[in-house]
A and B are shown apart, each in its own frame.
Chain A
Amino acid sequence: MTIGEDRAAAMQAEARERRITSLLIVVGAALMALLPFVGVAPFTITLLTEAMIFAIWAMSLDLMTGYTGMLTFGHAAGFGLGAYAAGYFAREVTGDFLASLIVSELVVLSLALAVGFVVTRLSGAAFAIVSLCVAQVLFQVAVAWRSVTEGMDGLVGVPLPKLLGVTIHNGSQFYLLTLLVALIVCLGLRALVASPFGRTLTAIRTNAARAAAIGINVPLHKWLVFVISWAVAGIGGTLMVFMKAGTTPMSLYWIESGNVLIMAIFGGLGTLLGPLIGAVAFVFLRDALTTGFAVWQLAFGVVFVIVVLLFPSGLAGIFSRLWMVVRPASPARDL
């Protein structure tokens, strides 16, 4: 916005831009929903389903790391825990998707409230390392608690999900469900970061001491963000356990925590849409590279480094630069 611009007009322009972007997201999701009906290969639909699940996970990381500045090396925790809780409940009690989701969320929320209360007292590198330790402890529990988790073999035999009594028995239907959940999560998180609460998070990220000095209860906000972030990751984990009909301790392993961080950074932290794009790029690049390279991570690493060097704000930065060219009068903040 230009200096001295009329404030009402500026506020309206900002709100309008946000509404247009939200509308584009809904249109994009609607177009994606058509894909199974226009002859797109089932394998591609499976990849897209996984990409949307990862997108939910990566956006939950973005709230914590991109918006609040809490770098975490253990974001597999909420995801893997959600997967185990939903999978176990679905197998032992009922395959109802909503019931499994609620139970999974209750488990994730309880642990996030307890763990978050302690670990969010830390910041910077200490928080990053302790969050990694938390995820590794959960990994070890998943390996050792064989009577529930079946150890390294993993939890298997998760039934097909049922939605409102109807069994979801093919990949296209599950894709549509995942797409819908991802859309709700995306719009919900966008509303959250645009709210006063979201601005408070930006203040904490920019300068925690200053934020405290203007009366922001920094520990409380960081705790809430931690809990919300784990809860959203748990939604992703729930979808994942139904998609794969099971899960293994590897879903809690540090490599997964690294992958979700890579998706978010690759796409562009602090933009929500960036991590979403990053998750899609991650899934499809991984698929393309595994056919040509023995060690696909090596090739992916090269792509990752090039993108991050050329566009420090990630793939979203490429789009927002294009947007700037088309609309030179857009606001200073990216996306």
Chain B
Amino acid sequence: MPRPYAHPLLVVRDLCKNFGALLAVDGVNLEVRDGHVHSLIGPNGAGKTTVFNCISGFLHPTGGRVLLNGREVTGWPPHCLVAAGLVRTFQITQVFGDLTVMENVALGVRSRLGRNLAMWSRAEGEARDRAHEVLDRLGLAEQAHANAEHLAHGDKRILEIAIAMALEPRVLLLDEPTAGMSPGETERIAALIRRIASQASVLLVEHDMEIVLGISDEITVMTQGRVIASGTPEAVSRDPLVRDAYLGAVDAGAL
């Protein structure tokens, strides 16, 4: 079990982001502890993905700070954050469709090995071997040589995570990994996330409450750009504000 007071690996302080007059994120604070699965939940439009984009360098925050393992990384471009150990996946599947499954993961491996710029083919065997290890671990070895766009939807979602895992992240940001999946596949992802937590801390945006309550060490609830509650799954699910604002409307029965 994860340590309850493990040191915070990712710290977000007073994060703000506005698009013109629209304040999408309004002073969000959260801490992802070492080895934890931390979920970020809230109704559509609460600003979860905007928080994700600000943390992962795809948007420049208007205010606030992001600290990774004690180091200020606010506003860093994505490739620098990846090098520092912070990796994200996407809500809408974004695999490289015209490359094979293996090539998709090998891109991640090469990036980790700092070989994006290698203009010769030396030591390609190592990248491919490591890619195959990742595929083996995630159960995609059978499809290694299939074109990524020919994969079933569930397998594409796993590939999305496999590419991220090839980068050996310290902190993994998963944006709705179960979007559009069947219940069986959802369970497969839940087990996978739990396993990943032994290697990396996870910040998870997810709509499936069963998963969130089942695998999270900590939950942060957002509505309208603000955090309204944060704590253990038990504490958050008992919080009257949360029940009113969000859970009550969606699925109080699940609690």
Contacts and interface: CB of A to CB of B under 8 A. Distances in A.
Contacts of A224: 117
Contacts of B145: 1-5, 7, 10
A207 B94 contact: yes
B231 to A, nearest CB: 30
Contact of A3 (B97, B118, B132, B142): B142
A5, A11, A224, most chain B CB atoms within 10 A: A11
Contacts of B107: 199-200, 203, 211, 214, 216
A215 B82 contact: yes
A4 B128 CA distance: 15
A163 interface: no
B169 to A, nearest CB: 10
Q: Chain B interface: which size bin?
A: 35 or more
Given A3-B143, A213-B87, A216-B116, A195 B121 contact: yes
A7 B129 CA distance: 10
B136 to A, nearest CB: 11
Task: Among B96, B127, B142, find the residue whose CB has the most chain A CB atoms closer than 10 A.
Answer: B96
Interface in A314-335: 332-333
B116 A197 contact: yes
A196 B163 CA distance: 16
A212 B78 CA distance: 6
Contacts of A211: 107
Interface of A, helix, strand, loop or mixed by DSSP: helix
Contacts of A202: 96, 98-99
B102 A203 contact: no
Interface residues of A, number: 35
Interface in A1-56: 1-5, 7, 10-11
Interface string A201-240: 0110011011111111110110010000000000000000
A213 B116 contact: no
A210 B116 contact: no
Contact of B94 (A195, A209, A218): A209
Contacts of A217: 77, 79, 116
Interface string B60-74: 000000000000000
- B87, B112, B120, B167: residue with the most chain A Cβ atoms closer than 10 Å: B120
Contacts of B100: 1, 332
B96 A195 contact: no
Contacts of B88: 213
B158 interface: no
A199 B96 CA distance: 11
A200 B117 CA distance: 8
Interface in B81-134: 82-83, 87-90, 94-100, 102-103, 106-108, 110-112, 115-121, 124, 127-128, 132
A2 B147 CA distance: 10
Contact of A197 (B56, B79, B95, B118): B118
15 contacts: A7-B132, A192-B119, A196-B119, A199-B106, A202-B99, A207-B96, A209-B94, A213-B78, A213-B87, A214-B111, A215-B112, A215-B116, A216-B111, A217-B79, A332-B147
Interface of A: 1-5, 7, 10-11, 191-192, 194-197, 199-200, 202-203, 206-207, 209-218, 220-221, 224, 332-333
Given A196-B118, A215-B116, 14 more contacts: A3-B143, A5-B145, A191-B119, A196-B110, A199-B99, A199-B106, A202-B98, A210-B96, A213-B89, A214-B163, A215-B112, A220-B117, A221-B117, A332-B100
